[in-house]
Amino acid sequence: METIQVKTSFISRFSVMIKLMVIGFLGLALLIPTAFIQEIIHERQRYSEEVMQEIHRQWANRQTLSGPIWSIPVSATDTELTTQKEGSKKYLHLTPKNLLIKGSIEPQTLKRGIYEAAVYTSQWELTGIIPQPDLAGSGRAFLEGLHPFLSFGISDLRGIEDPVMVQVAGKIYEVHPGSLVPELHESGFHVQLNQLDISQTKEIPFTISFRLRGSERVGVLPMGASTAVTLESTWKDPKFSGNFLPIEREIGEGGFEAIWQIAELNRNLPKSWISGDLQVAPFDAEFGVDFLSPMDHYRKAIRSAKYAILTIGLTFLMLFLVETVGNKPIHPIQYGMVGFAICLFYLLLVSISEHTAFNIAYFIAALSVILTVTAYSIPLFQSRLLTAVLGSILALSYGFVFLTLQSQDYALLIGSLGLLIALIVTMILTKNVNWYSVADKT
């Protein structure tokens, strides 16, 4: 009999601790459905990316512009003639002396079902001067009967919209597909300069203009000894990427305008070289603009799901305090029902955000869960005040998570301060509680 009394006294004395351990285990167990929900979000995100990539492939992929390059046929040296096959062609490639690039980009959104992809149509104009070719001391000579050509690189030719206008030394030339300088750009177009007399040419002015479609990003390879690039667009959230940032930029509600100025010494590319002798990687100097949203609704939903333990923990803490201090017994199954309702918030969030703006979806999902849990707690608490407090805690929790999602730079700081404030409030509310007497009551 004494043994039974001792066991009963032990269980009664530590009943609060045992109940707290059960609640903690239940809270951790609820992370399992949360993990499944996160996997569903990841799956939807992957499918969305597949749809966007398909749209990009059909419209036009990312675009990179490089050039123009002036290529002149030259003779081989005596050494090359002894080691190479007779008749092999050599070209002297020259980069522009001054290159001015102006681009106007018109973004738009293409839809397929509920998914969207950012694409653009752009207008480009390139002007510059190509210096006079010089073969002094090289052991080479210009070959007569073969015409020089001007080539320009574009990474995805499907984006080119006719017409393409190329004017060299005041004359307009017909454009042909193919870059003819594969060591620099694999795809593009070129013009045969059959009306150009090299012997009478010093510096060659040129103008190239065309329209180009693309998606996600546009990049530029600064080929000129001095390259100036000006881009303007109505896109509100540009991301400047690559190896150079603009020296001037202006971003507003109406879009952005950015200016780059690249000097000769800023990029590791020679002014001229013989075909096959280029030993550098010119694309190391590429720069451009990304036209992707800084954070889509799937990434926000995943980030919000990572705060599930916080929302569940604060809600369970409120229920536990009401149960122990307010002497209102709550069964672990009831804890679980409230926890599952909170987990359902993240599934509601991602499903609604696929059809409307993320902020609106967040408000609808949070309000649905708050009303559900609050209504469920009315018969449990039998107190309007406690029910209102629980609803307020849920609202503050979701508001705190929402604030954290909106601030990527200060997310960790906001999260740390929020947890500290929650701990301080809990300590203040329970500072006068005699947990041993509470255990005796239970």
CB 140, CB 272: distance < 8 Å: no
Paired with 221 in beta bridges are: 66
pLDDT at position 4: 47
Phi-psi region of 145 (alpha: psi -120 to 50; beta: other; left: phi over 0): left
CB 414, CB 403: distance < 8 Å: yes
pLDDT at position 70: 87
- The whole model's pTM is what? 0.72
Alpha carbon distance 426, 389 (integer Å): 13
Tokens of 359: 């902020």
Alpha carbon distance 41, 29 (integer Å): 20
- Amino acid in the structure at residue 128: G
Tokens of 223: 């080929």
pLDDT at position 6: 46
pLDDT at position 281: 65
CB 19, CB 441: distance < 8 Å: no
pLDDT at position 198: 62
Tokens of 12: 């009664």
Half-sphere exposure of 368 (CA within 13 A, CB side): 16
Return the axis-axis angle of helices 332-353 and 15-29, rounded to nearest 10°.
20
Alpha carbon distance 198, 200 (integer Å): 5
Cβ neighbours of 96 (radius 10 Å): 26
pLDDT at position 229: 94
Alpha carbon distance 425, 344 (integer Å): 27
Chain centroid to CA 355: how far? 21
pLDDT at position 1: 43
Alpha carbon distance 79, 348 (integer Å): 74
What strand order describes the sheet that includes 204-215? 171-173, 160-168, 204-215, 115-130, 98-112, 226-233, 255-262, 248-252
Helix (H, G, I), strand (E, B) or coil at 187: coil
CB 321, CB 429: distance < 8 Å: yes
Three-state secondary structure string covering 309-332? HHHHHHHHHHHHHHHHHCCCCCCH
Tokens of 242: 């690559």
Residue-by-residue pLDDT tens, the chain, 442 positions: 444 444 445 455 556 677 778 878 887 888 888 888 888 888 888 888 888 888 888 898 899 998 798 888 887 776 666 666 555 678 888 889 889 999 999 988 888 877 778 889 999 999 999 887 776 656 676 677 678 888 999 999 899 987 889 998 888 888 988 888 888 888 899 898 876 666 556 788 899 999 999 988 899 998 888 899 999 999 888 889 988 999 999 998 888 999 999 988 888 788 888 877 776 666 778 899 998 765 577 888 888 888 788 788 878 877 877 777 666 777 888 888 888 888 888 889 888 888 888 889 999 999 999 999 888 888 888 888 888 888 888 888 888 888 877 776 666 777 777 778 777 877 776 666 666 665 555 5
Tokens of 335: 């804890």
